[in-house]
Amino acid sequence: MTPVGVVRAALAALVRHRRPAYLAALLATAVNTVPDVARQLLVHDSPSVVAALLVDVVGFGTALVAQLWVTGAVAALPGGGRLAPRGALGRGTGLALRAVRTAPGAVALGVVLGGAVSALLTLPPSIAALGVDGVLGPLDAPGAVAFAVATVSDGVASVVTLPFLAMVLVIAAGRRLARSPGGQ
């Protein structure tokens, strides 16, 4: 299947199974919000670029764990199965590794498309709340409302994009894996 074919199949699967897929994303986003907010608060008053980069590295790591968990949780949906939260992180990791090995173009296209949607959902409200410098650099002690706006926009983007990339990874890894919750 071509990368565009994988993305189309992933979108079709997401439309068919939107309730459980978005439920998994909502749960992962809610859990991920705690370390996400905590990491920002730890450097709230620090103008250091090193602190900002560290916050971004930690954020990437927690987002990756959330993505892998959602991927494993929704893995059986395209094959007619159910949402499977138990063991989802390991299953999602295996599916993601297989997808990257077998269909790197499809995974790259999914990441680019998901990233574009995420940017469209997060950048306008974050820039309006924090200013361009606050989005690109260290937080430098934003007000509570500005911080809340940026945090909520990040959460919305996560809920919207996590299930899409999860379905891309599941479809790219192969339908055989998508049919069984154990998958491997």
Q: Is 140 exposed, middle or buried (0-12, 13-18, 19+ CB in 10 A)?
A: middle
Domain ranges of the chain: 3-179
Q: Which of 134, 27, 20, 13 is nearest to 78 (CA)?
A: 13
Residues lower than pLDDT 70 in the chain: 39-47, 134-142, 175-184
pLDDT of residue 127: 83
pTM over 0.75: yes
Q: 14-55 pLDDT, tens per residue?
A: 999 999 999 999 999 988 887 777 766 666 666 677 777 777
pLDDT of residue 153: 86
Q: How far apart are CA 113 and CA 164, in angstroms?
A: 9
